[in-house]
Amino acid sequence: MTFTYEALPMRVTFGPGRFAQLPQEAEQLGLRRLMVLSTPDQRALAEQAAALLGDTCAGVFTEARMHVPVEVADAARAAARDTGADGCVAIGGGSTVGLSKAIALTTGLPVICVPTTYAGSEMTPVWGLTEHGRKRTGRDRTVLPRSVLYDPELTLHLPVYMSVTSGFNAIAHAVEALYAPDASPIVSLMAEEGVRSLATALPVIATNPQNTEARTDALRGAWLCGACLGATTMSLHHKLCHILGGTFDLPHAPTHTVLLPYVTAFNLPGAPGADRALRRALATDDVPRYLARAAVELGTQPSLAELGLTRHDIDEITAQALAQPYANPRPVTEAALRSLLTDALNGDLAL
Ligand code: NAD
């Protein structure tokens, strides 16, 4: 066995009620003028954060949007400059965390994240910006949050459909980390436990969204899966989701949810160690079928067709996916890709 593992410098505080510790967290980092970020939907939570921070709140910016449009990033950077902010607090899902990273990328302002979905962006040095309909992404340690406060109580009102799809988004990070070219024993442990936590918690959340114990397990799983995403290089699944979101405007988390069983059906025969870990974590002998059926039973769409994709789109997706080589446990041929996408379009594994 050979591997390289580089730990990312990050402080994580976890537990029900931790949100109230935001002022102490700011103090610990020596920050005195924080700008609070959120989406318009989560303005009330952003205002709660501002109230907690009191005099150390420099302002509230509630215009975060999916995929970080450049004009929103510019407006947020201007607001940070005009208010004299010395750091940001990002409260929300991947969209708000993404906005804080866009600010950090050009200003170097430190970020405290308070995640409220399971997307995992808060654990990664990956940023993204969208301009003229195209999303650019990159890796830069500057955008890595300094501190992450995970409070399961903030996820109690995440709607069930978003909880389930966001949970599968997290599971997808762990799955691809298990067979990543830069996988390592510590990442594999985090991945297996992250998948186990989420797979156990999501069915409970689907019937009782206010169950704090299940919400705690799910958020703990999301943290572990996010850490896997931050530590490794993703393969075919994330590549295809990027194309489906970027070119075909398919919704981020639901696309991950529908596609994951089909990518695992293709990849796991070439990644026996990952297959064994996932069988253990999910207590099943058939990982792809388990993922497909569990997602549909929890109320998600069974096929890419139901997310709006058509048969004619397969040519373009195949061409884009084959245009740039990337690491994958099995070689990706045109025939294999067409077959995978056709199966996912029809939802064959969910039948
Ligand atoms: P999101 O952040 O867009 O949130 C979706 C909606 O849910 C928003 O309106 C938000 O306000 C609302 N919401 C969030 N938490 C809530 C809660 N607890 N209760 C009620 N409503 C809540 O969705 P997301 O799936 O978390 O993030 C998707 C984005 O993150 C995509 O742009 C994706 O590319 C990016 N992402 C980036 C990385 C990375 O490492 N850079 C990793 C994962 C995702």
Token code pair at residue 188? 């594999």
Atom 33 of ligand 1, nearest CA residue: 94
What pLDDT score was predicted for residue 109? 98
Q: Is the CB of 264 under 6 A from ligand 1?
A: no
| pLDDT range class, residue 39, cuts 50, 70, 90 | very high
With beta carbons less than 8 A apart as the criterion, state whether 124 and 144 touch.
Answer: yes
What pLDDT score was predicted for residue 132? 84
Provide mean pLDDT across the span 176-197: 98
Same domain, 137 and 171: no
Same domain, 238 and 272: yes
Same domain, 58 and 149: yes
Token code pair at residue 346? 């029809």
Residue 196 lies in a domain: yes
Same domain, 19 and 123: yes
Residue 252 lies in a domain: yes
Same domain, 72 and 172: no
Of the residues 155, 181, 215, which one is the last residue of a structural domain? Answer: 155
Predicted structure pTM score: 0.97
Same domain, 270 and 210: yes
Same domain, 114 and 17: yes
Residue 3 lies in a domain: no
Residue 5 lies in a domain: no
Token code pair at residue 274? 């990952």
Same domain, 204 and 341: yes
Q: Is the CB of 98 under 6 A from ligand 1?
A: yes
Question: Which mutation among 19, 124, 141, 162 tests ligand 1's pocket best, with the greatest number of atoms within 8 A of CB?
Answer: 162
For the CA of 126, the nearest atom of ligand 1: 41
Residue 323 lies in a domain: yes
Atom 21 of ligand 1, nearest CA residue: 158
3-state class (DSSP) for residue 156: coil
Of the residues 116, 132, 155, which one is the last residue of a structural domain? Answer: 155
Same domain, 257 and 123: no
| pLDDT range class, residue 314, cuts 50, 70, 90 | very high
Same domain, 178 and 148: no
| pLDDT range class, residue 297, cuts 50, 70, 90 | very high
CATH number of the domain where residue 246 is located: 1.20.1090.10
Distance set, CA 150 to CA 83, 96, 99, 116 (Å): 27, 15, 18, 8
Q: Is the CB of 166 under 6 A from ligand 1?
A: yes
Give distance in angstroms: CA of 173 to centre of ligand 1: 15
Give residue 57's domain range. 11-155
Q: Which of 191, 145, 320, 180 is nearest to 243 (CA)?
A: 320
Same domain, 19 and 116: yes
Give distance in angstroms: CA of 117 to centre of ligand 1: 6
Tens digits of per-residue pLDDT, 78-111?
999 999 999 999 999 999 999 999 999 999 999 9
Q: Which residues contact 246 (CB under 8 A, 6 or more apart)?
A: 134, 135
Residue 88 lies in a domain: yes
CATH number of the domain where residue 36 is located: 3.40.50.1970
Tens digits of per-residue pLDDT, 11-28?
999 999 999 999 999 999
Same domain, 121 and 169: no
Residue 2 lies in a domain: no
Count of domains forming the chain = 2
Residue 324 has pLDDT above 90, yes or no: no
Of the residues 139, 155, 171, which one is the last residue of a structural domain? Answer: 155
Residue 274 has pLDDT above 80, yes or no: yes
